[in-house]
């Protein structure tokens, strides 16, 4: 049995088990969706939103792309935001980056291996690399530089979202959060949240392997 067939078999097991645990779930799903959170994450197969957060079907409205970028000129990104805010009226928007991101690493190292679509996609990341070249040069080690850039880019996407008229002028304005997922441990760490004064710009940056809920240098 090939992997695609295995997935279909696993789906049948999942559907039966899910119906056994929560007999009313699929009935609720037929009535429509009311997720509380718009999740913007990376397409990386190691960061599945529902699994790493323990979410159930219907909890998250998910948009994933290379390097978890939000691009206002991209109809894909904007249509997701528009529907999430105006129709679903989500209370929160989460941008979740991750350490070990291939898109971030490609922007940092300057090569995409001859993939023009990826190259265009990570153009905004390359701009960040140019803008922060002095800071990046002072960080020892390519992995640490890539992890710092992953954090910065995630916060930048959250800042952009927080300033979008769709978000700013919403009847019930959603809070915007920047999170980072550590693929080495499975923990998610909060980087910043809109309107949260506890996330001060002058605080000491936690080490990448510090999984405690701590104050961050980042601010939205």
The reply to whether 42 sits in an annotated binding site is yes
The reply to whether 44 sits in an annotated binding site is yes
Question: 10, 16, 34, 46: which is the annotated catalytic residue?
Answer: 46
pLDDT for res 1: 79
Same domain, 88 and 121: yes
pLDDT per residue as tens digits for the range 75-125: 999 999 999 999 999 999 999 999 999 999 999 998 888 899 999 999 999
| Domain span at 83 | 34-193
Name which of 112, 75, 114, 95 is nearest 175 in CA terms: 95
The answer to the question of residue 78 being in a domain is yes
Same domain, 86 and 150: yes
What is the separation, in whole angstroms, between the first and last Cα of the chain?
48
Per the rule left: phi > 0, alpha: psi between -120 and 50, beta: everything else, 67 is: left
Same domain, 108 and 89: yes
Is residue 96 annotated as part of the catalytic site, yes or no?
no
Same domain, 120 and 93: yes
pLDDT per residue as tens digits for the range 132-164: 999 999 999 999 999 999 999 999 999 999 999
The answer to the question of residue 80 being in a domain is yes
Average pLDDT of the chain is: 91
DSSP E strands: which ranges in the chain? 37-42, 60-65, 92-98, 175-181, 188-193
Interval 174-197 mean pLDDT? 94
**What is the pLDDT confidence band of residue 8, given thresholds at 50, 70 and 90?**
very high
CB atoms near residue 96 (< 10 Å): 24
Same domain, 46 and 147: yes
Is residue 101 annotated as part of the catalytic site, yes or no?
yes
**Radius of gyration (Cα) for the chain, nearest Å?**
19
The reply to whether 92 sits in an annotated binding site is no
> Could you give the C-alpha distances from 59 to 29, 40, 46, 92, 184, in angstroms and in order?
11, 14, 20, 12, 25
Same domain, 22 and 75: no
Place of tokens 């792309």: 65
Same domain, 164 and 183: yes
| Residue 150 CB contacts under 8 Å (≥ 6 apart), including other chains | 97, 98, 99, 101, 104, 180
Report the distance separating Cα 200 and Cα 220, nearest Å.
10
Give the chain's domain count: 2
Same domain, 27 and 62: no
> Model-level pTM greater than 0.85?
yes
pLDDT for res 202: 31
**What is the pLDDT confidence band of residue 217, given thresholds at 50, 70 and 90?**
low
């Amino acid at each position: 049995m090939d992997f695609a067939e295995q997935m279909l078999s696993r789906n049948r097991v999942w559907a039966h088990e899910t119906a056994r645990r929560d007999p009313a779930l699929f009935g609720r799903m037929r009535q429509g969706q009311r997720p509380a959170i718009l999740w913007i994450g990376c397409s990386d197969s190691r960061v599945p939103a529902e699994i790493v957060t323990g979410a159930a079907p219907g909890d998250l409205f998910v948009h994933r792309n290379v390097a978890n970028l939000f691009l206002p000129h991209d109809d894909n990104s904007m249509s997701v935001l528009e529907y999430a805010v105006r129709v679903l009226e989500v209370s929160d928007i989460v941008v979740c980056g991750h350490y070990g991101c291939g898109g971030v690493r490609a922007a940092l190292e300057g090569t995409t291996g001859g993939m023009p679509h990826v190259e265009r996609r990570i153009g905004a990341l390359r701009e960040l690399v140019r803008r922060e070249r002095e800071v990046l040069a002072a960080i020892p080690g390519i992995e640490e530089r890539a992890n710092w850039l992953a954090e910065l880019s995630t916060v930048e996407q959250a800042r952009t979202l927080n300033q979008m008229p769709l978000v700013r002028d919403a009847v019930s304005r959603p809070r915007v959060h920047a999170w980072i997922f550590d693929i080495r441990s499975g923990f998610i760490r909060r980087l910043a949240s809109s309107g949260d004064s506890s996330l001060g710009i002058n605080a000491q940056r936690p080490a990448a392997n510090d999984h405690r809920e701590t104050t961050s240098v980042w601010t939205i």
